[in-house]
A and B are shown apart, each in its own frame.
Chain A
Amino acid sequence: MIEKLRNDVAHAKENVQQAIDLAHKIQPKINAVVTFVDPSEQLAHLDEVKNGLMAGVPIALKDNVNTKGIRTTASSKILDNYVPVYNAHIVDLLKKQGAIYIAKASMDELAMGGSNLTAYTGPVANPWDTTRMSGGSSGGSAALVASGVVPFAIGSDTGDSVRKPAAFCGVVGVKPTYGRISRYGIIPYASSLDHVGYFTRNVKDACIGLEVLAGRDDRDMTSSNKEVPAFSSLLNASLKGKKIGIIKNVTDAIKNEATSKAFNELITKMKNEGAEIQEIEFDNALLRAILPTYYMIANCEATANHSNLDGIRFGEQEMGDSTEEVMINSRTKGFGLQVRKRFITGSYGLFVENQEKLFRKAQRVRRLIVEAMQKALQDVDCLIAPASSTIAPKIKGEKIDELMDEYLVAENFMVMGNFSGYPSMTLPMGFDQGCPLGVNITCKAFDEETMFNLGAGIENCTGLHDLVAEVE
């Protein structure tokens, strides 16, 4: 898709306009956009970057990606009026390759959530079935790619926030290795878990995406100096001799027959293509600990990360008689319930009397889980499992039992990719009730090349690529 559009850079203006028109048309139904961006200035400078990898390609940015001079809210009321004074590093990279961003996409408030129901502008609907959720927190970006508005959209992934909505929306969702892509200018959730990720509709485009985004940025001390391979030209879909490890704990926990059936069919096809399949079983207690461990680390980091949102220097300001009152009033009015809850959890976990048994303990459990992953990946090229036990839940859904393995393990195992920083991606693997199901693979650190090759192999097996949902 990206190649086709960049080869048609002569018609960039028309292509971009087409994307904007479609985004406007479906906005009342899916509500994926927070801010529409007038592309005329970017188009005016397109000539300077007409040979770029994304020349003239319309894209969308999650609304936690800072864009100089263009409102960036992170779907939070406290940043409703925030206009950044600088570009995120990846925005500069994308512009350099000629990408034209046309929209800032909705997300869970401050990326805290997996449903996109907590956005200040309201829920995002799934393009395949508008009574269902898009998933989150990068729900707006996923929905814009799935509905055919843009072939590429930036998301961020702190605990599966790209890979889960990708599964629900039937697109490819990539979270590369921690450090591959600079986080400078991305409004954070939890620094040690945050990854810049993105959505495409096929694996080839995913390769191009990482070629554009990856590389060292001196402004992000956690970004890597590792060389960035030319993923798209190296792409090799052959599964012959590839060692695939099925996460048995996840497949065991899934009760939904359609999901199991689609997954088993995929595995059979992969085997037929020459892949060597084995089952890997983790200590289930470790996997059941993923969610509480994640909540503790993420929320402890988040409560500090967002202490800058105080109404003093930028953002929505609620007046008071002292600077302290301004801060209290701005924060009280500016945050939604979910965010405040998480701040309280995080703050509690950092108290000096709790920190050892909560935050520090969570960090130790995180290390145990990463060690287990490392060990598992010694013998295989990737770990594989369905990305979710079901298709996207209903927006007005029923309460689920959060202590069952079906939720605790099957819906949260992808967080392991955030704990370890290992590259992980989700692809479509089938349909149930007209809605997509996804499969997830996770590879060794900085081995995105293998991940993309396996992804291409899976794509061949399923035949599911370039899916577009027609929003009704």
Chain B
Amino acid sequence: MEYDVVIGIEIHCELNTNSKMFSSSPTTFGKLANSCVNEIDLAHPGTLPCVNKGAVEQAIKACTALHLEIDPVVKFDRKNYYYSDLPKGFQITQQFFPIGKEGHIEIETSLGKKKIRINRIHMEEDTAKQFHLTEGTLIDFNRAGTPLIEIVSEPDMTNGEEAAAYVEALRQTLYYLGVSDVKMEEGSMRCDVNISLMPKGSTVYGVKNEIKNLNSISNVQKAIDYEIERQAKILDEGGIIEQATRRFDEATKSTILMRLKEGNVDYKFFPEPNIVPIRLEDAWIKSIQANLPELPEQRRARYQRDYQLSAYDINVFLANKELAEIYEEVMKTCKNAKLACNWMITDVLAWLGKNNVQIPDLKMKPEDLATMVNMIENGDISGKQAKEVFEDVMLGKNPNQIVEEKGLKQVSDTSMLESLINEVLDEQPQSIEDYRNGKDRAVGFLVGQVMKKSKGQANPAMTNKMIVEELNKRIK
């Protein structure tokens, strides 16, 4: 039987802020357990929450970039449940009045472009991290209280590819905004997928399963592909899908049942009495919106306009923001955008991989790479010579100096080339004969002889042109 697949995605994203959502303790990743906590994060009696303005600013940026309508009155609610990773016994979230509602993002898949609607974005706080060991449970409260936004999509996706494209598009947008470092492997961006199947053409949704905590974009796609197959098989065999929470198992590439959902949990949501509703000043919202960093789609348009790069080249740069930023530096003094792009996305990337260097640690100066590319463009060095120069440029050396030291400068001086050419032609009368008889191969041979005599420094293109001119003169 054929099915329509319905997929909705909830993403929790840790915000880039100095301090926590409701307390002043720091939000750094990878610190000694329980070293980034204060009495508020541990929910000591008598503590009160204080809203982090920086987190609200980040949420506004995300809402703006994703076209959500912003609620200028910020309100928070309590979500009540007992769990040892939740210090207060409730989470402060925005159940009733999310900061943003009704937005969208555009994705591109093999089927073309598509708009995925976003239902809401709300702010909340993260829980602590638990480690269940045989001898007991360890709790690290460093993460407790970290600011989050939850981004809830509409059920607009129909396959794993679309879902992966949606997560990637969001990830890129949030990263460009500087809202989050979106490291799925470190958990700063976490993805829960809801998926259900219904007979093709039906309008009644099937029973959904939720796959929790997918930690990479490829796993989003793999988990969904598996889950579609699993649910289809059950339905094909006349079985019933039970509402459940599942997780993706990397080893077996399958989804595994965590728990069946028996009715919905009552979280007893009610407005947080310790945070009075905050009216955001219109001018403040506008100033945040007016100063948004460049978004991926804007950068794509600019690269098309200013550098005339291909879609493929632009995608490489969009996926690697730091590389693109070096490229832009290079282009400040470089003449040939395409040539510089090729060096960046092939040679520079390959060099980084081969030498296991991260971009922030790179010693290469963008203006040096630009100089090198300009030398190629001007015919000062050959492509082959450039490869040699490049290795040193990547170590931070100046290309003019390299060329000088290694004697790599191409001979483009016409009088010097002229004398070399005449010398060679005088030595090779047979070649002149061959040329007269229409054997063009002779030219290549003569160029080779000139290159040899010049120890490889003659400009090949110029040499070629001048030999042909001289030959034509002589056979007249």
Contact = CB atoms under 8 A, between A and B. Distances in A.
B48 A301 contact: no
Contacts of B310: none
B273 interface: yes
B89 A184 contact: no
A368 to B, nearest CB: 18
B48 A308 contact: no
B82 to A, nearest CB: 6
Interface stretch (B36-44, B59-67, B367-375, B451-459): B36-44
Given A347-B268, A355-B268, A310 B89 contact: yes
B50 A221 contact: yes
Given A304-B80, A308-B43, A313-B87, A221 B270 contact: no
A82 B46 CA distance: 12
A307 B91 CA distance: 11
B430 interface: no
A351 B265 CA distance: 10
A221 B274 contact: yes
B45 A66 contact: yes
A186 B43 contact: no
A66 B46 CA distance: 7
B276 A359 contact: no
A82 B43 CA distance: 13
6 contacts: A85-B44, A219-B48, A308-B87, A308-B88, A310-B84, A327-B82
Closest 6 CB pairs of A and B: A307-B89, A323-B84, A350-B268, A191-B273, A308-B43, A192-B273
Contacts of A352: 266, 268
Interface in A267-324: 300-301, 303-304, 306-310, 312-314, 322-324
* Interface size class of chain A, counting residues whose CB lies under 8 Å from the partner chain: 35 or more
Nearest to B267: A352
Given A307-B88, A307-B89, A352-B266, A183 B48 contact: yes
Contacts of A327: 82, 84
Given A308-B87, A310-B89, A324-B84, A187 B270 contact: no
Interface in A355-377: 355, 359
B45 A221 contact: no
A307 B270 contact: no
Contact of B46 (A64, A190, A351): A64
B52 to A, nearest CB: 12
Interface string A143-164: 0000000000000000000000
B43 A313 contact: yes
B80 A307 contact: yes
B274 A187 contact: no
Interface string A215-227: 0001111100000
Interface string A184-226: 1111101110000000000000000000000000111110000
Contacts, number: 105
Nearest to B40: A219
Nearest to B51: A221
A55 interface: no
Interface in B325-344: none
Contacts of A190: 273
Contact of A301 (B42, B51, B84, B273): B273
Main secondary structure of the interface of A (DSSP, over half): loop
Nearest to A179: B276
A186 B48 CA distance: 9
Contacts of A185: 46-47
Give the interface centre of A72, A185, A303, A307 by most chain B CB atoms within 10 Å. Answer: A307
A314 B44 contact: yes
A340 to B, nearest CB: 15
Given A86-B39, A313-B87, A327-B82, A308 B270 contact: no
A308 B84 CA distance: 10
A39 interface: no
A122 interface: no
A266 to B, nearest CB: 36
Nearest to A191: B273
Contacts of A314: 42, 44
A74 B45 contact: yes
Interface in B128-147: 137, 139, 141
Nearest to A301: B273
Contacts of A222: 274, 276
B13 to A, nearest CB: 24
Nearest to A217: B48
B78 interface: yes
Which residue, B42, B45, B50, B87, has most C-beta atoms of chain A within 10 A? Answer: B45
Nearest to B89: A307
A347 B78 CA distance: 13
Contacts of A300: 270
A337 to B, nearest CB: 21
Nearest to B85: A323
A88 interface: yes
A350 B273 contact: no
B48 A184 contact: yes
A221 B48 contact: yes
Given A324-B82, A326-B84, 8 more contacts: A188-B46, A190-B273, A221-B50, A303-B80, A310-B84, A312-B139, A350-B80, A350-B270
Contacts of B48: 183-184, 219-221
B259 to A, nearest CB: 14
Chain A CB within 10 A, most for which of B46, B137, B141: B46
Contacts of B83: 323-324
Contacts of A350: 80, 268, 270
Contacts of A393: none
A347 B87 CA distance: 18
B285 interface: no
B396 interface: no
A102 interface: no
Interface string B260-292: 000000101010011110000000000000000
B50 to A, nearest CB: 6
B266 A304 contact: no
Contacts of B88: 307-308
B90 interface: yes
A218 B276 CA distance: 13
A312 B84 contact: yes
Contact of B274 (A191, A307, A310): A191
A82 B289 CA distance: 47
Contacts of A306: 89
Contacts of B268: 304, 347, 350-352, 355
A86 B89 CA distance: 21
A79 B80 contact: no
B128 to A, nearest CB: 10
A84 interface: yes
B276 A184 contact: no
Contacts of A191: 273-274
Contacts of A192: 273
Contacts of B87: 308, 312-313
A307 B39 contact: no
Contacts of A307: 80, 82, 88-90
B45 A310 contact: no
Contacts of B84: 310, 312, 323-324, 326-327
